[in-house]
Amino acid sequence: MKVKVTGVGLYIPPKIETAEDIAPKIGKPVDWIIEKSGVSERRVSEIDVDQMGAMAGKEALGKGGKPDLIINASGVPKQTIPDTSTFYQRELGFEGIPSFSVHCTCLSFITALNTAASLIHSGSYNRILIISSDSNKNSPFNFALTRGFDSHHPLQFLSEYSLGRICDK
């Protein structure tokens, strides 16, 4: 299959939260956080995943025009109905573009890229925007952290980010 990635976008939140900031929230020492997660600092977004994803998507699109399909490839969706992909579309200022999500946890982007390549190869679409935008706010691990449960899983310490990629024929 001949498919090209013709644009890449990235949004990394400017706010940094250190292990020292997290320690009092969970009642664990800084060394424990770093030992269990390997994370001494992480990025934390003050905006929602749809806004983060739209910023990365806009950068990926560049001056190339609208996509004819949007795929959400986030590990944890903002919500199920309506689909998270529709929020990206709204934030990008588009209407009427088909969109859907691929939910495969950490493999969502790879699965979305394979899906996009297949759809382009079949002739169904020519330009597909894939957005992966993750925030700990929607994570079950963060739910445990903020509710005081003793479930300090290393994944709850990961950074928030958004990636956008555009695939063309």
Point out which residues pair with 100 in neighbouring strands.
Answer: 71
* Residue 115: alpha-carbon gap to chain centroid: 17
pLDDT of residue 138: 53
**For strand 69-72 and strand 99-101, is the pairing parallel, antiparallel, or unpaired?**
parallel
pLDDT in tens, the chain (169 residues): 688 899 999 998 999 989 899 888 878 899 988 888 788 888 888 888 889 999 999 999 998 889 999 999 988 777 778 888 999 999 999 999 999 999 888 888 999 999 999 999 999 999 999 999 887 665 444 444 444 444 444 444 555 667 778 778 7
pLDDT tens per residue across span 129-141: 999 988 766 544 4
Point out which residues pair with 41 in neighbouring strands.
Answer: 18
Q: How far apart are CA 145 and CA 29, in angstroms?
A: 15
First and final CA of the chain: distance in angstroms?
A: 9
Q: The tokens of 109 are what?
A: 């982007």
What is the pTM for the complete model shown? 0.83
